Structure 1
Amino acid sequence: MRRLSAVAVPAAPPQADEVGQAERRRPLRTRAGTSRREARDLLSRVNAVAVLLVLADSATLAAVCLNRGVTWGWAAAIAVTVLGIRAAWRLYRRRLWLSWLQDLPRSAASTALAFALLTGAGLVSAAPHADVVAAQWAMMVFALVIEPVRWCVFAFGRWCRRRFDRCDRTIVVGAGQVGVNLARTMLEHPQFGLRPVAFADSGPDPDQQLPPLEVVDGDLAEAIVRLRAGTVVLAFSHTRDSRLVEAAITAHRLGCSTLVVPRMYELHPDGPGIERLRSYPLMRLGTAPTRRPTWWVKRAADLVLAAVALVVLSPVIGLCALAVLVESGRPLFFRQVRVGMDDRTFVLYKIRSVRQSGEDDSQVRWSVEGDARVGPVGRFLRRTSLDELPQLWNVLRGDMCVVGPRPERPGFVREFSAIHELYWARHRVPTGLTGLAQVHGLRGDTSIADRSRYDNYYIANWSLWLDLRILLMTAGELCCRRNR
Structure 2
Amino acid sequence: MTRLSPVRPPLLAAGPRLPRPRGNRRELSWWQLATERVNAVAVLLAVVDVVAVVVAAGVVTPSPRWGLLTAGLLLGIRACGGLYRKRLWLSWLHDVPRSAGTTAVTLGLVTVLALGTGREDGGPVAAQWMVLLFAVLSEPARLCVLAIGRWGRRRFGRGDRSIVVGGGKVGAELVRTMQAHPEFGLKPIGIVDDDPAIDRELLPVGLIEGDLPEVITRLRVGTVVIAFSHAQDPPIVDVAIAAHQQGCTTLVVPRMFELYQDGRDVERLRTFPLMRLGTAPTVRPSWWLKRLVDIVLATAALVALAPVIACCAVLVLLESGRPAFFRQTRVGLGGRTFVLFKLRTVRPGGEDDSQTRWSVAGDSRVGPVGGFLRRTSLDELPQLWNILRGDMSIVGPRPERPGFVREFSAIHDLYWARHRVPAGLTGFAQAQGLRGDTSIADRARYDNYYIANWSLWLDLKIVLLTVGELLRRRKN
User: How far apart, CA to CA, are the structure 2 residues paired with 1:267 and 1:392?
Assistant: 49
**Is 2:291 the counterpart of 1:299?**
yes
Letter in 1 for 2:156: F
Counterpart residue identity of residue 292, structure 2: A
Instruction: Select which of 93, 99, 105 maps to 2:91.
Output: 99
Q: Which residue of 2 aligns with 1:213?
A: 206
Q: Equivalences for 1:22-33 in 2 at 5 Å?
A: 25-26=8-9, 29-30=18-19, 32=21
TM-fit CA distance, 1:123: 4.6
Q: What code does the residue aligned with 1:233 have?
A: V
Would you say the 8 A contact 2:119–2:125 is kept in 1? no
Displacement of 1:397 in angstroms is 0.8
Q: Is the 8 A contact 2:395 2:423 kept in 1?
A: yes
Whether 1:449 aligns to 2:464 is: no
Match of 1:142 among 134, 139, 142: 134
Out of 430, 450, 466, the position equivalent to 1:474 is 466
Q: Are residue 153 (structure 1) and residue 142 (structure 2) matched?
A: no
Counterpart CA distance in 2 for 1:235 and 1:118 is 45
Residue of 310, 316, 331 corresponding to 2:308: 316
Normalised TM-score (structure 2): 0.91
Q: Is 1:35 aligned to 2:24, yes or no?
A: yes
Residue 223 (str. 1) matches residue 223 (str. 2): no
Does 1:373 pair with 2:362? no
Give 2:45's match in structure 1, choosing from 53, 56, 72.
Answer: 53
Higher deviation after alignment, 112-121 or 444-453: 112-121
RMSD: 2.3
C-alpha contact (below 8 Å) 1:42/1:168 kept by paired residues:
no
2:109 aligns with one of 117, 125, 133: 117
Distance 2:18 2:243 in 1: 12
1:389 matches 2:374: no
Give ranges in structure 2 of 5+ residues lacking alignment. 11-16
Q: Do the aligned residues in 1 keep the contact of 2:254 with 2:275 (CA within 8 Å)?
A: yes
What is residue 253 of structure 1 aligned with on the other side?
A: 245
How far apart are 1:129 and its partner, in Å? 3.3
Does the CA-based 8 Å contact 2:252-2:274 persist in structure 1? yes
Aligned positions of 1:323-338 closer than 5 A: 323-338=315-330
Q: 2:449 aligned with 1:460, yes or no?
A: no
**Superposed displacement of residue 350, structure 1:** 0.4
Q: Quick one: distance in 2 between partners of 1:262 and 1:438?
A: 32
Q: Is the 8 A contact 2:164 2:227 kept in 1?
A: yes
Structure 1 alignment gaps of length 5 or more: 1-19
Secondary structure at 1:259's aligned position in 2? strand
Q: 2 CA distance for matches of 1:52 and 1:137?
A: 24
Q: Select between 20-29 and 64-73 the one with higher mean Cα deviation.
A: 20-29
**1:41: how far off?**
4.3
Normalised by the length of structure 1, the TM-score is: 0.90
Aligned: 1:272 with 2:255: no
- Code of the residue aligned with 2:321 in structure 1: it is G
The residue type paired with residue 355 of structure 2 is Q
Counting aligned pairs with the same residue, the percent is: 61
**SS of 1:233 mapped into structure 2:** strand
- d(CA) in 1 for partners of 2:399 and 2:5? 18
Q: How does 1:165-204 map to 2 (within 5 A)?
A: 165-204=157-196
CA deviation vs aligned residue, 1:363-406 (integer Å, no higher than 9, x gap): 12222222222222211111211111100100111100111111
| Preserved contact between residue 82 and residue 114 of structure 1 (Cα < 8 Å) | yes
8 Å Cα contact 1:338/1:410 also seen in 2: yes
Q: Is the 8 A contact 1:98 1:192 kept in 2?
A: yes
Q: Deviations over 1:171-229 (max 9, x none)?
A: 2110101011111111221111111222121201243611233423x421121122111
| Residues in 1 aligned to 2:149 and 2:173: alpha-carbon distance in whole angstroms | 24
The number of equivalent residue pairs is 463
Q: CA contact under 8 A between 2:332 and 2:419: conserved in structure 1?
A: yes
Worse-matched range after superposition: 173-182 or 302-311:
302-311
Higher relative contact order (CA 8 A, sep 6+): 1
1:414 aligns with 2:406: yes
